[in-house]
């Protein structure tokens, strides 16, 4: 039931659109349909001797006779004289039918027309015209010189409302059809949608906490470094929220280091790692950002710094870490670039020198963030996760495919690695209260940030147990 409501909550615009269109179609069909009025009359058919018949009894009409009269009511034998009697043009359409009431000689005659008075006139006049020709269709009556007489029992009156179209029924059916169609399309769209659209799509694969949603912003060529370029913007505030919630998780691990990764390339993991490290440094913590993406290093390029020497150089024993670590930004964040691209990245990252280096760096710094390659293409992030206090998974909203996210989480679970939390990137919606910055909104955001951090702490403590 929760999944059903979740799909409707996510795809509610499809349901509403279908309902509105179906109701409008029903209203248009109602307005464009010619109204049809229906009038009914009841008559009694009997026989009597005609003027020429001098002897013989009066015959009673049989059920076969009555069925015959019902059959001929809408034939030219009855309709032509009916048109003449009502001064209608030749060929004027007439809709009339009759039915027998039980085993009696009482007929119910019903006429339908676009004019209410015409419907009543046809229903009332059809009986006498049927009686006038009925004798011709009974051999016994014709031979005995008797005729059929129509006696009105309940004459028809002009109806005040049409029987068709029925606005209430049509709109009700349109509403029902719109709901069925909308819900069906919503679930079809949900089944065919391969991208991660929101928290529900992530929670379907993991119970790790949602640490922040980073808004979609215009990205300069070098990358979006909002903590330096727009320190009071929406993106910078969201990164600070991510920093706060990540610190709650760090309390449960005590290892003061996290690897930042994603399922596949293009989800903004490096930009997130750079801004998060800047936010950590800005809070007064001595922070180091390590570029451990030895296949496609991009931290140095994003920050516009020298990247020819770095992590690879240190792991090969060609330099000491203090010789290649560089300081960047007004907050004094330290950066260890990737250095030259080695032929064996996974082996190098899983080596004893790497473990020794990280152990030393964690002792020297208050916080160490490591930018690693995506999980699905290579195993590097899994190797690094063993050496750190946790793993932050960046998920690109409307970009990451569900199957890629599921595959990444399966790879991590296979080796016993757990995601400490998720950061949703490229979240759209400028009007969202989540990113407003003002006195009232800031207080609300801080309250939500604290609650989210507490949940993250509880989740981390549960995993630690």
Q: What is the pTM of this model?
A: 0.61
CA distance 457 to 464: 10
In tens, the pLDDT along 225-252 reads 888 888 888 999 999 999 999 998 877 7
Lowest mean pLDDT among 86-90, 170-174, 265-269, 444-448: 444-448
What is the average per-residue pLDDT within 360-379? 94
Give the CA distances from residue 70 to residues 79, 92, 135, in Å, rounded to whole numbers and listed in that order.
13, 21, 13
Give the CA distances from residue 335 to residues 267, 307, 330, 355, in Å, rounded to whole numbers and listed in that order.
21, 10, 13, 18
In tens, the pLDDT along 85-110 reads 999 998 899 999 999 988 888 999 99
Lowest mean pLDDT among 91-100, 177-186, 255-264, 429-438: 429-438
CA distance 276 to 416: 26
Got the DSSP string for 207-219?
Answer: ---EEEEEEP---
Burial level of 255, CB count in 10 A (0-12/13-18/19+)? middle
CA dihedral over 257, 263, 264, 265, signed as positive or negative: negative
Domains and CATH numbers, the chain: 2-33+165-192 (no CATH), 37-154 (3.30.70.1130), 199-464 (3.40.50.300)
Give the CA distances from residue 175 to residues 6, 275, 285, 377, in Å, rounded to whole numbers and listed in that order.
22, 49, 59, 48
CA distance 434 to 260: 23
């Amino acid at each position: 039931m929760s999944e059903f409501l979740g799909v409707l909550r996510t795809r509610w615009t499809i349901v509403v659109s279908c309902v509105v269109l179906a109701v409008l179609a029903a209203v248009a069909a109602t307005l464009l349909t010619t109204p049809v009025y229906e009038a009914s009359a009841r008559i009694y058919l009997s026989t009597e001797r005609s003027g020429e018949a001098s002897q013989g009894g009066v015959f009673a009409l049989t059920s076969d006779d009555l069925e015959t009269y019902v059959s001929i009511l809408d034939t030219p034998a009855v309709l032509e004289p009916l048109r003449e009697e009502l001064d209608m043009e030749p060929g004027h359409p007439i809709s009339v039918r009759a039915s027998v009431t039980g085993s009696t000689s009482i007929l119910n005659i019903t006429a339908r027309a676009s004019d209410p008075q015409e419907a009543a006139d046809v229903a009332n006049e059809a009986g006498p015209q049927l009686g006038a020709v009925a004798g011709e269709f009974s051999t016994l009556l014709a031979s005995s010189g008797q005729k059929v007489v129509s006696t009105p029992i309940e004459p028809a009156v002009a109806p005040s409302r049409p029987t068709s179209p029925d606005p209430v029924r049509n709109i009700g059916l349109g509403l029902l059809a719109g709901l069925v169609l909308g819900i069906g399309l919503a679930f079809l769209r949900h089944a065919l949608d391969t991208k991660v659209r929101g928290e529900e799509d992530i929670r379907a694969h993991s119970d790790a906490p949602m640490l922040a949603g980073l808004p979609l912003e215009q990205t300069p060529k070098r990358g979006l470094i909002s903590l330096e370029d727009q320190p009071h913007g929406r993106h910078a505030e969201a990164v600070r929220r991510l920093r706060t919630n990540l610190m709650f998780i760090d309390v449960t691990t005590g290892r003061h280091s996290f690897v930042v990764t994603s399922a596949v390339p293009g989800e903004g993991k490096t930009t997130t790692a750079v801004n998060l490290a800047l936010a950590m440094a800005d809070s007064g913590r001595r922070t180091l950002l390590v570029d451990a993406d030895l296949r496609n290093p991009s931290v140095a390029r994003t920050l516009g710094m020298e990247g020819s020497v770095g992590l690879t150089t240190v792991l090969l024993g060609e330099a000491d870490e203090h010789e290649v670590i560089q300081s960047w930004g007004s907050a004094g964040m330290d950066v260890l670039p990737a250095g030259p691209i080695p032929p064996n990245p996974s082996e190098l990252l899983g080596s004893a020198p790497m473990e020794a280096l990280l152990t030393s760096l964690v002792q020297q710094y208050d916080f160490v963030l490591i930018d690693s390659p995506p999980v699905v293409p290579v195993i590097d992030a899994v190797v690094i996760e063993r050496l750190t206090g946790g793993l932050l998974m960046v998920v690109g909203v409307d970009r990451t495919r569900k199957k890629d996210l599921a595959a990444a989480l399966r790879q991590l679970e296979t080796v016993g690695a757990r995601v400490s939390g998720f950061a949703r990137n490229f979240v759209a919606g400028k009007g969202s209260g989540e990113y407003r910055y003002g006195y009232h909104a800031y207080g609300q955001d801080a309250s939500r940030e604290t609650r989210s951090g507490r949940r993250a702490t509880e989740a981390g403590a549960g995993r630690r147990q």
